[in-house]
Every structure is written in C-alpha cells, then in structure tokens.
Amino acid sequence: MSSSVSTLQDRFGESILEHVEFRGEQTLIVEATKAKDVLKYCFDELAFDYLIDISSLDNFGEEPRWTMVYELYTMANGANHHLRIKCHLKEDEKADSVSDLWPTAGWHEREIYDMMGIEFNGLEDHRRILMWEGYPYFPLRKDFPLAGRPSEMPDVAFTEKAPLEGGPFVTSPTSSSTVHREPRSREID
Amino acid sequence: MPEAIEQHAAYDSKVEGNIIFTQADAAINWMRKNSLWPMPMGLACCAIELMGSASSRFDIARFGAEVMRFSPRQSDVMIVAGTVTYKMALAVKRVWDQMPEPKWCIAMGACASSGGMYRSYAVLQGIDNLIPVDVYVSGCPPRPEALIEGLMKLQDKIADSESAKEHFQSKEDYQPEKSA
C-alpha cells in the first residue's frame, strides 16, 4: 500500500469508503461531501501537483447516478505516484470545483458540465465548452440517443436527428437475443 | 532612292488577325471555367489533401484554380473540405452567402457530402442540407487526383451552362433549356 493512501486513510478515516488496489494502481472512493477536503489535502500536503484529468460517469438506472473520477499525479521530489479518487453524486447534487487548486480543472469541469450536465460549486467560468450556449441537452448522458435530438437556436446553430439506418450499432448489455442486444439506436425517455 | 514603303489601309492586320468569332456562352464559359478561384473551407483532414492538391506535385494551377482566396468576396467555388459540425454550419452558410454570383460548391470527401462516419448529434449530415452542391467528391479523404477530377467535372458543367442567357435575361424570363 502506498504511503499517500495510508496517510489519507489516517487523516480522513471514515470518509474514505473504499480502497482498491489493482496492479499497483491506487483508487480511493470517498464521501462526496469530503471529496474537496481530500483533494485539497492531496494538493497541499501530498504534493500531487499534476491533475491529469477529471471525468464523470453516468450510472443510469442506479442510485447515485453520477460518479466523479479525479486522476492525480505527483512529480515532486522525483516521485511518480498515480492516485485515482472517486466520489458518487446524486442526480440533483452539485460537485465542488477544484479549479482553485489546479487551474486546469476549469476546462475539465466545463466539459463535464457541457456533456453530462453536472454543475460545480465555485467554478468561476461556468459556460459550456464544446456545444453552444443555448443547446438544450447534455449529449453524453445515457438517456440521450446517439442520433441526437432536434434543436434550434436562431442565428447560432441548429441540430437534427442523424439517420442511423445501416449503423453504427449501439450495444446494450443483456443476455437476450442479438436484436435486443444491438438495437441500432436506443432512446430512453 | 526608294520610297519608304508604308501602306495604310482599312485592313489592319495587327488588330484583325487577333479577332476570333465565337458565341457569348462559349467565351464566358471558357473564361469562367479556367479561372475558378476557390474558397478553401478546410474543416478537417480533407483540408490537408486540399493543400496537397494546391502544391507542386499535383498542382491545381494546371486547371486555373490555384488562387485560394481567403475572402469569400473574391471566390468562385467553395470547396467544403471536412466535417461540418452543427456549431460551424451556419458560419459556412454565411461565408457562402457572402460569395458573389456566379458561384459553385464542391463537397470534398465523405463528411461534407453526407456526414460520413459521423452519424452523431454534433455533425451536419451533408453540407447540401444548407447550400447547393455541384460536385460531390468521394473518399475519406479523397486523393488530390480525385479532387482535381471533381474540379474538371465542375469545369465541364460550367462549359455546358447558358451563361449569356442567364446574364442578359431577367430572372423571371429565363427558362433553362437543359436540366441542371
């Protein structure tokens, strides 16, 4: 077990819900309310000076719906440790922005807001980053169809549904027949 | 002492030797098709092949289309080279609207022609949803030879058009003889 993981477990105790080690990769699952404190401690005390990425998962149909994933890395003092920190959020909850710790987090969080619709407390520039202001959907959510949905933003942009005849295929995890496993488009409303 | 032989006559060979009789259509079309100035709408990897077409190995200048104009006001043919996202779509339309008539459009590659492999919420499924396309060039991306063949097809199309009629008759009276 790496020393930073044991330090965090000593410091935060019950707030660290789970520790997973897989082929030397360390993953900590922490309480959502304490996630910002854990990340701040990682930055201030454990010298995780490089935020590789923040991503989000949509566990559609399960509670809690969102999972935030923070990939941290340290290059201080010749060390190269990789630490992954996850926390779960309910559908209506907001995440805490870490852009005050790592400035690069601003763009990652804007992308998460744009694609998944998770909002951030304390994020200064809370605009979309890829789609335009006024686009009404969050396209990486599991209940958003691959073909897209029609929308109209006058003088800015419009969207139409893409035809999906002949592919590409969307695979659903199920043990039923191929027809059910690979419907050509899947729309959940 | 011989007289200076200088003859003045009604016939001036220096001028009249250069006169060609032709039809207005043929003359206008000949001039238009051999000086197509492209508006390079490079949006993705097709733009790299478009640059290749313009450079020395393929040399689109052989067909009079080497003057890539980055101002739509000076362009004749828009080459839409690449994936047109919905975010970019209305900008492409605006540039097209700024080009003066007569103007033509080449949809270069799978994405510009039909959305290509991007059956997606973010990509316009073919630029012909917004602007009229004269020539579609297949390929992902097309080789420069393919683009040049597309350009030659466009030249053939221009050569067949009724430019003078279109120009001298009012829009209401003009009835095209052939279907475009």
Ranges of each domain in chain B: 23-160
- Mean pLDDT across B58-74: 91
- Mean pLDDT across B78-85: 94
Does pLDDT of B147 surpass 90?
yes
- Mean pLDDT across B109-136: 92
Contact yes or no for B120 and A144 at CB 8 A: no
ipTM for the assembly: 0.79
Q: What is the pLDDT of residue B3?
A: 65
**Average per-residue pLDDT in chain B?**
87
> Where exactly does CATH 3.30.460.80 map onto chain A?
3-136
Give chain A's residues under pLDDT 50. none
Q: What is the pLDDT of residue B180?
A: 46
Q: What is the pLDDT of residue B173?
A: 64
Q: Which class is A3-136 in CATH?
A: alpha beta
Q: What is the pLDDT of residue A185?
A: 59
- With both helix axes pointing from N to C terminus, report the angle between A35-44 and A3-12 in degrees, rounded to the nearest 10: 130
Rounded to 10 degrees, the C-alpha dihedral A49/A55/A57/A63 comes to 40
Contact yes or no for A168 and B119 at CB 8 A: yes
Q: What is the pLDDT of residue A188?
A: 56
Q: Which residue of B has its CA nearest to A131?
A: B87
Give the minimum alpha-carbon distance from B37 to chain A in angstroms, rounded to a whole number: 28
Contact yes or no for A131 and B125 at CB 8 A: no
Angstrom distance (rounded) from CA A106 to CA A120: 10
Angstrom distance (rounded) from CA A125 to CA A104: 12
Bigger pLDDT: A33 or B19? A33
Any chain B CB within 8 A of the CB of A167? Answer: yes
CATH 3.40.50.12280 fits B23-160, yes or no: yes
The closest alpha carbon to A99, from A68, A121, A81, belongs to A121
Between chain A and chain B, how many beta carbons pairs sit less than 8 Å apart? 46
Q: What is the pLDDT of residue A177?
A: 74
- Mean pLDDT across B113-126: 90
Give the minimum alpha-carbon distance from A104 to chain B in angstroms, rounded to a whole number: 24
